[in-house]
Structures are given as C-alpha cells and as structure tokens.
C-alpha cells in the first residue's frame, strides 16, 4: 500500500468537483447496486482499467493516486469520504482510467454497473447533472495537475509535438517530460531501459509505448471504437466530429438512425481548442470548447451513436447498387452507409512568413489551450488574426501572460470580430492591438524569441519580444479526400442546395445536400456557411431532418 495512505483527511469540495450525494440519491443508486465491505489497501480502480464500475463511498476513505496502485511514490490527487463517488470522465466514455482508487480506511462501498448508472440518471436529471459536472471538473483538474500518462521526448522532435497535440486535442490528462530540460528525463529513461534515440515514449499504467502512432495511442487508451464498428451497415456516417458533426450524430442516433461519427484527430474540431465560447445560447457564463465537445460526445453515445477517433476518411464513392455509399478509411478500412454528412471543417492557414514550419510546435501555435500556454506562461506573446478565434485566444492569454500583442490587417478590431469580444479586448490593460499590421519575420534559434511586424501603411517595422506566436487567420476547407466526387466552389468549399449541380435525375438537391443525393455538407466545410458554433450545430441537426426526407423518398 502506498505510504501516503496513512492518516489521510478528506479533500474539501470548493467548486463542485467532489460533491456529497444526498441520502435520497444514494437510495436511488442502491436499487441497482450492491453494498459490500472494503479492506484497507484494496484497489477499487487501477490505472488503465476499462469498463469499470461506479463506486459510492458509504463508510471509510478512498484515496485517488496518480499512477499504478503499486507505486509508492505516486502523489495523491484526492481523498473521498462517506457520501462521495469515485471516478471521472473516463468512466462515462469507456476510456482507460487515468488514476488508481485505493481504500485508505476500511469501510463500505456501493458498487454499480455504469450501464445501470446511465439508466438511473435519466430518472433523476439532477443526479445526472451532478455526476457529469463533477466528472468534467475532475478531468480539468487531472489535466491541470499533469496526471495520467507521461510523454518523454525532445521539444525538437516532430513526433513529440504530434503526441502532445494528440493528447491535448483529445483532452487526455498527461505530463510532458522534456528530454533536454527536465532533470527527471534521463533517470526515468535509464530505469525503463530506453535510450534517448528511442524517444518519444509514452508511459501508461506500467507499459512503455515507443513512438506510438496516434491510432496505437488511441487503442491503448481506449479512445478507438471496437473493430465491429467498421463491419456494420449504417444509415448515416458523419465524417468530422466538430460541433456540426456531433450535432448530426446526436440527432441521427436519437431519431433511430444507425449512426457513426469519425474524426481524424479528436472530437470538437476547431471549437474544441477554444478556451471559452461566450456567445453560445444557454451558457451565459460561457463554456469551453473542450467541455462542449465532451458533453456532445457523451450525449451522442447515450443515444447509441458510435464515435471513432482517430480515423481518417480518404475517399467517398457510390456503391454499385446506386443507393449506398462507401467511405474509404486510412489503412484500407471502409464504412458502408445509406447517407453521409460531410462535416470535416477546415485546416488552419499558415502565415506566408519564412521559418514558420521550423517554429511550429516550438513557438508557433494554431490553438491556445493549456498545452500551449504552459510553454509561454509569464512571458509576452503575439496573436495574429481579427476573427473570434483570435479574440477568444487573446482574452484567455491575457490572464496568463504579461503582454499580448494582437496583430490585425484591418483598421478596426470590430470589422470581423464580435463586438462583445472587441470591447473586452480594448479594456484589457496588458493587450496591445496593432492595426493595419502584418508579421514579416520570426526570430530565434531553437525556440521563438521575437516577431518582426510591419505597418502596412507606413512600412515601418518593429521587433516584438515574444516566446509564442498564435495564428488565427482563417482556414481552408478539408475536402481533398472527396476526390472531386461532389461539386466544390473555386476555394474548395462544398456546394449545397440550389448551387450544387445534381449528379443524376431531375430532383434538385435539398437545402444542405451536395451534388450527390443523400450526401450532405454542414459547418465550416460548406460554401457560404456562417462561421459560428451555433449555426454549425443547427446545420448538423437540420441535416438529419433532410436525411430522413432523402431516405423516405428512396424507400
């Protein structure tokens, strides 16, 4: 038993992460659960376990440790007493557990199958909201603590950056141990029998994954859907799991369609990298993009939709019977379906500046999440872009860095940015807005040290000290995988409705339908779409109604 489990006290609940259930709520859970005694040192949950039960502490104490249960040196995260429940978001989405739960003081627990828990909370929405909110907050806490898996690698390594980005985009608790800068790195590698040349490596519940691919990492952590997902016949395949794609998955599955949503990187899309979305209906205090994506993913799975990440769509073609489509996947896989919703969004654009690629991941970023901020906190940064993404990033960064230089090409901050964001930025004392300005040069050796900007009117240049450059200058549609099988505009966005050319027959395309019947496009990938999260969600929901209309006409 870990040494820290002696003389423990319960972790206080300050923000709702560790609430205590009421006697009525415990009685409700007891209808489907089993009460049983516990022994000191007993392991209830072990890091890496999947499909774990839900535990309520009735008597005694349960400690949450970061790491394998047998490791005496792993720090404690929390201690639960009577009336509290164990776990975090991984229990609801069938991921591997990111901690170990160990009985610190013998007593009694209520053990409940998670499927039964899901059924019970539909009868008591207050209980469901309480558990979900606590699990969301605990996931944030684990991420902030750097708990969970370990990534050891050089900050110069593209594979290290890839693994860190994958973990961050999928909101996985992790800690990066820099091979050059962290004194623990060399000691840990020697203990594991790994040479620096074999890095990056991922440490996960006692296993060493040597430079795993994203797919291998997802498989180890439980992100990937079971193999059976790829052998089913679907009513609806959603390609892309941003807000539009997740909305289509939720509404499709809830209305009885056999539905799967896939994404190449993570659920949430570009919105998933936003630190705070403040103008989304129903969330007056705002909501982070990551939390919105997690809630939508849980909701889609609740209705029976399969979510598979990371899976890359590489092609789309019509089946020989003329009524179904085949979505080609990386690795020679495929999905066969009656309808398709294209929700692949767009790629971030790069600045046309020398050395951009050299500094990507070493000072140049296309998202402002905790992963990027931990590398530049306390030092000046530059943000480029005049849209809402740039505005949200500027506000987020202003609370963590001494100076934020916001560089925009236009003359007015409110030209392309929502007024509420522009007003807030203009009131921030540590934000300097540079209008009619462009980035011309990046400075530094191994790491970004400065940015040279130029006034578009006068031609005058200025050097800005900066350890990070955040780029939000728009995006190009992700439509290469379609191979010209649907009509696109001259910029590569998917044409829909009256603007799409019918591929066959006399029936004009439905409002969100492409030039292929039964293939629809929603969100940022669609020509003339409104680049807002709310409109993307609306289009995803509307697409399902149109899917039913198409299926009804072809039945």
Q: Over 70: is that where the pLDDT of 181 sits?
A: yes
Do 215 and 243 lie in one domain? The reply is: no
| Main-chain phi, psi angles of 405, to 5 degrees | -95, 115
Do 456 and 493 lie in one domain? The reply is: no
Could you list the residue range(s) of the whole structural domain that residue 50 is in? 3-144
Do 140 and 8 lie in one domain? The reply is: yes
pLDDT tens-digit map of 399-443: 999 999 999 999 999 998 999 999 999 999 999 999 999 999 999
Measured CA angle at 250 (ends 418, 539), to 5 deg: 40
Closest to 335 in 3D by CA, of 239, 198, 456 = 239
Query: Cα separation of 438 and 474, whole Å?
Result: 15
Closest to 358 in 3D by CA, of 108, 158, 132, 148 = 158
- The domain that holds 244 is classified in CATH as 3.50.50.60
Cis-peptide into 310, omega within 30 deg: yes
Query: Cα separation of 227 and 212, whole Å?
Result: 19
Mean pLDDT of 516-527: 96
DSSP 480-548: GGGTTSS-B-TTSPBP-GGGSPPSSSSPPPPTTB-SSTTEEE-GGGBTT---SHHHHHHHHHHHHHHHH
Under 8 Å between Cβ of 274 and 392 = yes
Contacts of 149 (CB under 8 A, 6+ apart): 98, 167, 172, 173, 174, 175, 202, 203, 204, 221
Do 190 and 250 lie in one domain? The reply is: no
| Model pLDDT, residue 4 | 56
Q: How many domains does the chain have?
A: 4
Do 68 and 198 lie in one domain? The reply is: no
- The domain that holds 121 is classified in CATH as 2.60.120.10
Poorest-pLDDT segment among 42-46, 344-348, 457-461, 467-471? 344-348
Of 434, 458, 473, which residue sits at a domain end? 473
Do 117 and 156 lie in one domain? The reply is: no
Do 118 and 60 lie in one domain? The reply is: yes
The size of the chain, in residues, is 555
- Whole-model pTM: value is 0.86
Do 335 and 450 lie in one domain? The reply is: no
Closest to 466 in 3D by CA, of 449, 445, 452, 480 = 449
530 alpha-carbon distance from chain centroid: 22
pLDDT tens-digit map of 58-94: 999 999 999 886 666 678 999 999 999 999 999 998 8
Do 138 and 250 lie in one domain? The reply is: no
Of 407, 438, 473, which residue sits at a domain end? 473
Do 422 and 367 lie in one domain? The reply is: yes
Of the chain, the percentage scoring pLDDT greater than 90 comes to 75
Which pLDDT band holds residue 534 (cuts at 50, 70, 90)? Answer: very high
Which pLDDT band holds residue 475 (cuts at 50, 70, 90)? Answer: confident
Strands 519-521 and 437-444, by their bridges, are unpaired
Q: What is the mean pLDDT of the chain?
A: 92
Assigned token pair, 319: 């089946």
DSSP 44-64: EE-TT--SPPEEEEEEEEEEE
| Model pLDDT, residue 1 | 47
481 alpha-carbon distance from chain centroid: 22
Which residues are paired to 464 by β-bridges?
451
Of 473, 507, 542, which residue sits at a domain end? 473
Do 107 and 193 lie in one domain? The reply is: no
| Strand ranges, E, within 198-345 | 201-204, 207-210, 233-239, 259-262, 306-308, 313-318, 325-329, 334-342
Query: Cα separation of 332 and 357, whole Å?
Result: 30
531 alpha-carbon distance from chain centroid: 19
Do 482 and 343 lie in one domain? The reply is: yes
Contacts of 142 (CB under 8 A, 6+ apart): 77, 88, 98, 99, 148, 173
């Amino acid at each position: 038993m870990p040494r820290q489990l002696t003389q423990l006290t319960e972790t206080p609940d300050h923000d709702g992460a560790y609430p205590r259930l009421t006697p009525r709520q415990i009685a409700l859970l007891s209808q489907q659960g089993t009460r049983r005694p516990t022994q000191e040192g007993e392991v209830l949950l072990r890091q890496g376990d999947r499909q774990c039960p839900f535990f309520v502490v009735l008597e005694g104490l349960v400690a949450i440790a970061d790491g394998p249960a047998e490791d005496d040196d792993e720090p404690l995260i929390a201690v639960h007493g009577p009336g509290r429940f164990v776990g975090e978001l991984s229990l609801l989405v069938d991921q591997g557990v990111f901690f170990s739960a160990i009985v610190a003081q013998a007593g009694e627990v209520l053990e409940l199958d998670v499927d039964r828990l899901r059924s019970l909370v539909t009868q008591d929405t207050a209980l469901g909201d309480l558990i979900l909110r606590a699990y969301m907050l605990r996931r944030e806490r684990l991420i902030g603590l750097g708990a969970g898996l370990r990534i050891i690698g050089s900050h110069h390594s593209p594979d290290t950056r890839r693994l860190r980005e994958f973990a961050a985009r999928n909101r996985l608790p992790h800690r990066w141990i820099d091979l050059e800068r962290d004194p623990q790195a060399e000691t840990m590698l020697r203990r594991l029998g790994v040479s620096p040349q074999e890095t990056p490596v991922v440490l996960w519940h006692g296993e060493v994954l040597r430079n795993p691919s994203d797919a291998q990492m997802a498989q180890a952590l439980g992100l990937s859907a079971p193999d059976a997902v790829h052998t089913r016949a679907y009513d609806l395949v959603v390609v892309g799991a941003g807000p539009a794609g997740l909305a289509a998955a939720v509404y499709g599955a809830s209305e009885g369609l056999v539905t799967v949503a896939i994404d190449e990187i993570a659920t949430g899309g570009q919105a998933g990298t936003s630190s705070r979305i403040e103008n989304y209906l129903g969330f007056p205090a705002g909501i982070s993009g990551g939390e919105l994506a997690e809630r939508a993913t849980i909701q889609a799975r609740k209705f029976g939709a399969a979510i598979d990440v990371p899976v890359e769509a590489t092609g789309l073609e019509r089946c020989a019977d003329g009524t179904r489509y085949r979505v080609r996947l990386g690795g020679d896989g495929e999905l066969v379906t009656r309808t398709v919703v294209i929700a692949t969004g767009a790629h971030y654009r790069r600045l046309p500046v020398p050395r951009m690629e050299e500094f990507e991941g070493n000072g140049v970023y296309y998202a402002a999440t905790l992963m990027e901020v931990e590398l530049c906190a306390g030092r000046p940064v530059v943000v480029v872009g005049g849209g809402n993404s740039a505005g949200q990033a500027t506000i987020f960064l202003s609370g963590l860095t001494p100076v934020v230089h916001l560089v925009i090409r236009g003359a007015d901050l409110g030209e392309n940015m929502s007024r509420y964001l522009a007003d807030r930025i203009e009131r921030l004392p540590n934000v300097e807005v540079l209008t009619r300005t462009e980035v011309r040069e990046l400075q530094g050796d191994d790491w970004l040290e400065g940015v040279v900007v130029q006034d578009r009117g006068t031609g005058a240049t200025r050097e800005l000290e900066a350890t990070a450059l955040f780029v939000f200058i728009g995006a190009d549609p992700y439509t290469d995988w379609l191979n010209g099988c649907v009509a696109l505009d001259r910029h590569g966005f998917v044409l829909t409705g009256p603007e799409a050319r019918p591929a066959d027959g006399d029936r004009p395309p439905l409002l969100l339908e492409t030039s292929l019947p039964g293939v629809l496009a929603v969100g940022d990938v669609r020509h003339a779409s409104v680049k807002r999260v709310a409109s993307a969600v609306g289009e995803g929901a509307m697409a399902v109604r149109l899917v039913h209309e198409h299926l009804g006409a072809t039945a």
